Chain A
């Protein structure tokens, strides 16, 4: 009898304890963490718990920031027009990288990074708001994400795309300004995405909608481009010749290569010297290496837009290509697109549209407010293994190729040197020292944290 009473009491105690723990955990209050000039933002990220806001005071911060926790808001405070500036000093590769779901990156000026200024990698339900990005290879680069919003950002000087959304679904890119980039805005291998109310000017190509072969996502579709100003995108292409962006033509308002189901409606498209809109297939573009990808763009609907003065002064490829045929084309297509149409408007000259139909203005497909989901997409925390792969892709491949020297030594040589020694590799990566005079100095990667560095090292040595 006594024994039975004891057991009952123990059980009640256990339940009560469990309830207490549960209550306590739900009672954890999200907090604000203030970062002042002279402090490291990354230190606050380490302290932060899901739900916390990290508020960064105006000042200049020289670091790379990595977030791998969910529900972290990283916000730059503005005081009297002064920004919290994240500055890579043209030495660091990455400004802010997050793989945390529900991340919010807001209000920073990010400049002087050699790779990504702001990147999300595998993060869902993210928001990137009201940042100013200057320089970098990719300006703002969400990749492998679902349900994201990029709003109110200003991006210039990107050697690839100012805003570059890669392999992501249900994304809104709205009210941003992109100028003096090689591409202003880009959707690459994205499904269900919206660009609206953006101002895109003086880039080499204003907006690029692409389907790139050789990536894990093999299609791109359901893209709406509406209510944007796409003007004077005639900047010389300044992408390094080694990058794929070097192939981007100068003078194109909207370039479409590969995606299906694209609607272009109610945009101002003017003064783009090569063409207002140009539609190519991947064979024509020279990107046909991946046979799993359908190279042809279908169902391109060019609805009513405000067109003016496009295609009148083609340079480079468009000049050489279209030279014998003429100029002044608002729309240039290859003629292989199926199910495509263009709305009849005065003074809209087209070429390559012999098999296109005429759009019906009443059948607009651009009449939804957002491509985002009504409810957040369900997202689980990433395992160490996943973090290793995600971070390898986001960070390491910026400088290291698999089987050849790129900016740093090849992965195959690293594997040989550190075989069966992941701790040694992680330790080196954290605080590298210059071992070979013939390679550039590697920036320290300690900001990634021990767990992620261990995961990357294991991935490189065991799985690559």
Chain B
């Protein structure tokens, strides 16, 4: 189980004030979009719900749940999988749906935050997609928190319960979260992760190590950030799982923080050697774009091109994967309008 970009959830550390609705002074088209009248006209008050075909047979439902929860390229299919997972818990006795199954469902819900997060516009939000994403986000948070509550009776005896709950909570802060809530969750996560790293660093393939490493790179110095310790942890994470691209991604950033670009390039090279088959296809497509970008930044175009080639081949083989097309919004992004080119497109 891997959780990507949980570090971005630490934007909390960031200057991420979540303002109230635009104030009276605002008059732009974005301010308009927040006016109740316009939202009503534009049909933004969507009656969003998860339209998932009812499945009465429990075995069939389990099968569909197991299949669709891998569909990271399809927010609706994965959303249905999570709904079916919840129904299986409701319809089953405790013994039938084990703690491990519940933990897996909670882990899938944590990953669902990453799936949704990547669908938000990079620069501006608005419109029906954002409304739907917000709805899904809140629904996922609410349902996941209920699951955490159910699992809490086991947290003192099963370490994984604490770890997966922490991963879920951190992932939930990537969007739609107040600064105060982010700070609380982050502070708790730091404490929990440090304890797990101390007691059982190999738990869930070194997940706590990777997450703590991400946090220590993301946090400012005065909030406990410590890139040197982060690098140490992420090295350990890669030792435990040589295919852990999350750990590679963050250790490279750690070395960039420390301005040790040569070592960063070495890890980049190693990351490019991770076999495609070892990674979930959508994750690989996203990592390849990300790491290819890092390669350009670090002056290794040949590695960037390697990622680009393997990504393109994967996208051709599995055309249903999300391509993360870069498009402009509100005067930002997309291709260079003068040259018509996307900068180092991967």
Q: Which residues of A contact B (CB under 8 A)?
A: 90, 93, 112, 114-116, 121-122, 135-138, 141, 143-144, 157, 159, 166, 180, 212-218, 236-244, 246-250, 255, 257, 278, 280, 283-286, 288-296, 316-317, 320-322, 325, 333-336, 338, 351-352, 354-355, 382, 385-386, 389-390, 392-394, 397-399, 401-407, 411, 437-440, 463-464
Contacts and interface: CB of A to CB of B under 8 A. Distances in A.
B326 interface: yes
Closest 6 CB pairs of A and B: A335-B221, A286-B11, A291-B293, A240-B30, A404-B129, A137-B28
B296 interface: yes
A238 B293 contact: no
B180 A242 contact: no
Contacts of A295: 253
A290 B293 contact: yes
Interface string B94-129: 000000000000000000000000000111111111
Given A216-B343, A292-B344, A159 B293 contact: no
A320 B8 CA distance: 19
A357 to B, nearest CB: 14
A241 B257 contact: no
A292 B27 contact: no
Given A241-B19, A336-B225, A389 B332 contact: no
Contacts of A180: 25
Interface residues of B, number: 83
A440 B129 contact: no
B245 interface: no
A213 B324 CA distance: 14
A141 B221 CA distance: 35
A228 B293 CA distance: 37
Contacts of B274: none
7 contacts: A238-B25, A243-B124, A283-B253, A289-B122, A292-B343, A401-B327, A464-B327
Contacts of B88: none
B16 A286 contact: yes
B29 A114 contact: yes
Contact of B29 (A213, A320, A325, A407): A407
B313 interface: no
Contact of B290 (A135, A236, A291, A385): A291
Nearest to B294: A291
Given A159-B26, A285-B14, A292-B343, A122 B338 contact: yes
Nearest to A218: B343
A249 B17 contact: yes
A401 B221 contact: no
Most buried by A among B21, B43, B217, B329: B329
Given A114-B27, A292-B297, A141 B331 contact: yes
Contact of B338 (A288, A289, A386): A386
B330 interface: yes
A325 B222 contact: yes
Contacts of B130: 242, 404
B259 A338 contact: yes
Given A241-B19, A296-B257, A284 B13 contact: yes
Given A290-B293, A291-B297, A317 B179 contact: yes
A352 B25 contact: no
Given A294-B256, A352-B220, A440-B32, A288 B8 contact: yes
Contacts of A242: 30, 33-34, 124-126, 130
B179 A405 contact: no
Contact of A240 (B18, B24, B26, B293): B26
Given A285-B15, A438-B43, 11 more contacts: A216-B335, A284-B15, A292-B293, A317-B16, A320-B179, A335-B221, A351-B222, A389-B338, A392-B337, A397-B329, A440-B38
B8 A286 contact: yes
B30 A352 contact: no
A390 B339 CA distance: 10
Most buried by B among A242, A288, A320: A242
Contacts of B218: 283-284
B122 A393 contact: no
A291 B291 contact: yes
Interface in B264-321: 289-294, 296-297
A283 B127 contact: no
Given A317-B179, A397-B329, A398-B331, A285 B344 contact: no
B223 A241 contact: no
Nearest to B30: A240
Interface in B252-266: 253, 256-257, 259
Contact of B14 (A112, A136, A286): A286
A137 B29 contact: yes
A298 to B, nearest CB: 8
A238 B28 CA distance: 11
Contacts of A464: 327
Contacts of B185: none
B23 A247 contact: no
A411 B329 CA distance: 11
Given A284-B14, A438-B43, A239 B22 contact: yes
B17 A250 contact: yes
Contacts of A141: 331
A170 B78 CA distance: 49
A216 B341 CA distance: 8
